[in-house]
Amino acid sequence: MENKLIVSLSPHVHGGDSVQKNMYGVLIALVPAFLVSLLAFGLGALIVTATSVAACVFFEWAIVKYLMKKPATTVCDGSAIITGVLLAFNLPSNLPIWIIILGALFAIGVGKMSFGGLGCNPFNPALAGRVFLLLSFPVQMTSWPQAGQLMSYLDAQTGATPLAIMKEAIATHDSSVLANLPESLNLLIGLPDSCMMGAGSLGEISALALLLGLIYMLWKRIITWHIPVSILATVFVFAGIMHLVDPVYASPVTVLLTGGLMLGAVFMATDYVTSPMSKKGMLIYGVCIGLLTVVIRLFGAYPEGMSFAILIMNAFTPLINTYCKPKRFGEVAKKK
């Protein structure tokens, strides 16, 4: 029996989906990771996150109202709040407030509003802000406070991150250095082996908290599995091959659980605006991000490669969308 398209007159039932609903759904999914960051860094996590969110919302409101001369109705859609939270999740918990504000200005003013606002930006605004700060203030952006200093902010003691230890093992070609890494279970839950271990940025403390956010977004159908699963699977396979070739490279499980890999795969690479539209395109996009991340981590100058990998593939998204166009409805296939 042939399936026929039935076209009926209005009124039609609305699907209930909206930009605002999806944005606040993502914010709910970020709650577990935020709570873990508060448990790990306390006052520092609260100050950095509150400053970033407030600055992003303010700059979007000011730019829309006074520069674009439009009603500032988009401020309440949740996109500026998400940019603020994700920017904060990519920062150390002792970053000075003025640097956070500069990062928020770049993320909203340059990364988003200069292209026309939500839906027009080719690059993820939060990652654009993070990379801008990393290149402009490399010392402040790579000084990682040790976990457990709940009431410390600017005077918090810093330490080495798991990614720095992995990079040291590669640089010295000494696999014994990897013994200083926390256990995989501790990386999963978000508990360092010692308070002397710098945990990293706010959003990369607990892989489990980020996975809970992934499950929630999949349950609510905010995102699909294609991008996060393809990124994580590619990283696991590529890192596993490198570990088998030379034990100086960390195990694939450790690679998955360290740094901003999980945060980027779940919350940043899946950004609606900057990721491909088709399922095939999403898989290509995710595989390329995974490959680039491992290559930069293992052979690049920076210990972390997730931010750069996502931004690079953001630039290729229009090309992927062109290559992976879905078949037109009603088109008759040409006979060979």
pLDDT reported for residue 333: 58
Containing structural domain, residue 226: 174-323
pLDDT reported for residue 119: 86
pLDDT reported for residue 86: 97
**Residue 81, in any domain of the structure:** yes
- As given in the structure block, the two tokens for residue 292 are 């680039």
- As given in the structure block, the two tokens for residue 262 are 């999980």
The answer to whether 234 touches 286, Cβ cutoff 8 Å, is yes
Task: State whether 188 and 317 are in the same domain.
Answer: yes
Domain closes at, from 141, 159, 184: 141
Domain count for the chain: 2
**Residue 131, in any domain of the structure:** yes
Task: State whether 187 and 314 are in the same domain.
Answer: yes
- As given in the structure block, the two tokens for residue 73 are 């109705």
In Å, how far from its chain's centre is CA 189?
Answer: 18
The answer to whether 162 touches 181, Cβ cutoff 8 Å, is yes
Give residue for tokens 């303010």: 58
Task: State whether 190 and 270 are in the same domain.
Answer: yes
Q: From CA 40, how far away is CA 155, in angstroms rounded? A: 16
pLDDT reported for residue 331: 58
Q: From CA 83, how far away is CA 39, in angstroms rounded? A: 22
pLDDT reported for residue 195: 43
Buried b (16+ CB within 10 A) or exposed e, 184-214: eebbbbbbbeeeebbbbbbbbbbbbbbbbbb
From first to last of its 336 residues, the chain has per-residue pLDDT tens of 455 555 554 455 555 667 888 999 999 999 999 999 998 888 999 999 999 999 999 999 999 999 888 887 777 888 999 999 999 999 999 999 999 999 999 999 999 999 988 889 999 999 999 999 999 999 999 888 877 777 777 766 677 788 989 999 999 999 899 988 888 888 888 765 444 445 789 998 899 999 999 999 999 999 999 999 999 999 999 999 999 999 999 999 999 999 999 999 999 999 999 999 999 999 999 999 999 999 999 999 888 899 999 999 999 999 999 998 766 665 565 655
Task: State whether 31 and 135 are in the same domain.
Answer: yes
Residue 88 — φ and ψ, nearest 5°? -60, -40
Task: State whether 132 and 188 are in the same domain.
Answer: no
pLDDT reported for residue 146: 77
Facing residues of 289 across strands?
none
Three-class DSSP category at 80: helix
Buried b (16+ CB within 10 A) or exposed e, 42-71: bebbbbbbebbbbbbbbbbbbbbeeeeeee
Task: State whether 180 and 314 are in the same domain.
Answer: yes
173 Rama class: left (phi>0) / alpha (psi -120 to 50) / beta = left
Task: State whether 58 and 198 are in the same domain.
Answer: no
Output the pTM of the full model. 0.91
